[in-house]
Chain A
Amino acid sequence: KAGVTQTPRYLIKTRGQQVTLSCSPISGHRSVSWYQQTPGQGLQFLFEYFSETQRNKGNFPGRFSGRQFSNSRSEMNVSTLELGDSALYLCASSSVTGVQETQYFGPGTRLLVL
């Protein structure tokens, strides 16, 4: 089975622009979660989607949004980019949304905001 894939792998944007990141989960997985990883803040939860519905949201401003499609693929959008948005954005998928379910991570998208 193919793993979680994320595109693009690297992005360079300037302040004020917007960006869309894509995540394709493992085949059959219906839950997708997004995380931001920075040297200062570590790994922080952004949001979780299950069957096209947002189930949980972290403490990020409204500039961060996401959605999930009927084929379980997910996109994350960041509008009005700030320098502090530079980070590795990781997507994870699991078959269902449950406390004991393992989340499988993709390689991430590295975003640099200039």
Chain B
Amino acid sequence: AQSVTQPDIHITVSEGASLELRCNYSYGATPYLFWYVQSPGQGLQLLLKYFSGDTLVQGIKGFEAEFKRSQSSFNLRKPSVHWSDAAEYFCAVGPYSGGGADGLTFGKGTHLIIQP
């Protein structure tokens, strides 16, 4: 069965500093990988996703992520964080199937705190 590990439960970053959130996955085939963000009391919003092509993926709000097959990783990065980036971030993997919709398997999330 597929799984997603986000090793950092909490991360604190100063405003303006760079950010990297880690994500490792376990999956038996080529995965579909996603990063979602959840602000307090809100639903999840997609930041970016990867399933083929260029391994460096650009997303919304200045985020990017790099897929590294050899390391089974899909880390999220941002060169300069803003106070509004404080939120919960979830990495997710979509299972392989011959077709049709599939649910996502999520990591436990990383809580990002921004220091002024």
Q: Does A pair with B?
A: no
Contacts from B to A (Cβ < 8 Å)? none
